[in-house]
Amino acid sequence: MKKEENVGGQAVYEGVMMRKGLNLAVAVRNPQGEILIEKYKLQSFFKKWLNLPFLRGLLVLMDSLVWGIKALNYSTNVAFPEDERINGGFGIVFALILSFSLFIAIFIILPLLVVKPIESFISSLIILRLLEGLIRLSIFIIYLFVISKIKEIYRVFQYHGAEHKVVFCYESGDELTIENCKKYSRFHPRCGTSFLLVVMIVSIIIFAFLGKQTFIERIFSRILLIPVIFSISYEIIRFSSKHYNTYFFKILILPGLWMQYFTTKEPDDSQLEIAIRALKEVIEENVTSDIYSETSKH
């Protein structure tokens, strides 16, 4: 029987985070080969707002960001030696600020700098902005290609592939076993990679219609429009996921699936085991309202 309620997840260091409704679990393997589980029963603070188009996209984004960071923090504390861990709240805040700064530098300022020398040769602002967007998209693809070659990131991408295979297996109604999960694709239409690609495309369209601006105005306008772009992109992904079986939307989401060649890799059996364990934890009915940990030997 096919499952109607969607589940989602995220790859973390040496593990996988899975979420279904208000149940969330992170499964991570420590250096001793043990699987450690952190389970949460979430509170639905924004439930009454989640039916409002566009606003719900920002709320879901903030919620995913907060819990994604918590899951990553937990995984580093389990998978890495003490001197390689993120140290408490300050470390997380610093990592967030650094990540956002790099995002601004690489995906906003750099494309503007590349386009700037040729501005005098292109009279159409729309063409110039489209060129800027294509450069931004190219940088994004190169960035994914480069980081996928880093050993540690490659392993995270393997867990990403494991997450997708296990979710596909569950949604298809098959028993959650390693052999069953192996049969499924590592490319999933609801993947965050597809969402980021939609963000890039939406930004190209929106920025193309901005008027004449100074260099500083361009930077700030693009930063200020990030919430708008994310909200529109979320609605597109939400709508397309509901119509995934139609021919039109299968073609529409193909670029997002192609991008997952970079961000997902084929997992091994031990990684599939982690993803299966995380998903089984969130589909159990007896998840308590408290945060707790448990250990199982591999």
pLDDT at 1: 39
Q: What is the pLDDT of residues 110-162, one digit of tens each?
A: 999 999 898 888 888 888 888 998 999 899 999 999 999 999 899 999 999 99
pLDDT at 22: 80
- Specify if 155 maps to a domain: yes
Q: What is the pLDDT of residues 183-215, one digit of tens each?
A: 999 998 878 888 888 888 898 889 888 888 889
In the structure, what pLDDT confidence band is assigned to residue 109 with cuts at 50, 70 and 90? Answer: very high
Answer yes or no: are the C-beta atoms of 5 and 22 closer than 8 Å. no
Q: Is it the case that residue 182 has pLDDT exceeding 70? A: yes
In the structure, what pLDDT confidence band is assigned to residue 48 with cuts at 50, 70 and 90? Answer: low
- Specify if 66 maps to a domain: yes
Q: What is the mean pLDDT of residues 249-271?
A: 86
Domains contained in the chain, number: 1
Q: Is it the case that residue 240 has pLDDT exceeding 70? A: yes
pLDDT at 225: 92
- Which has the closest alpha carbon to 24: 67, 61, 65? 67
- Specify if 2 maps to a domain: no
pLDDT at 77: 86
- Specify if 1 maps to a domain: no
Tell me which of 36-50, 155-169, 189-203, 280-294 is least confident: 280-294
pLDDT at 59: 79
pLDDT at 277: 95
pLDDT at 294: 41
- Specify if 251 maps to a domain: yes
Q: What is the mean pLDDT of residues 5-32?
A: 89
> How many CB atoms are located within 10 Å of the residue 130 CB?
15
pLDDT at 13: 92
- Specify if 43 maps to a domain: yes
- Specify if 3 maps to a domain: no
pLDDT at 83: 59
- The whole domain housing 23 covers 8-297
Task: Report the chain's mean pLDDT, rounded to a whole number.
Answer: 83
- Specify if 149 maps to a domain: yes
Q: Is it the case that residue 297 has pLDDT exceeding 50? A: no
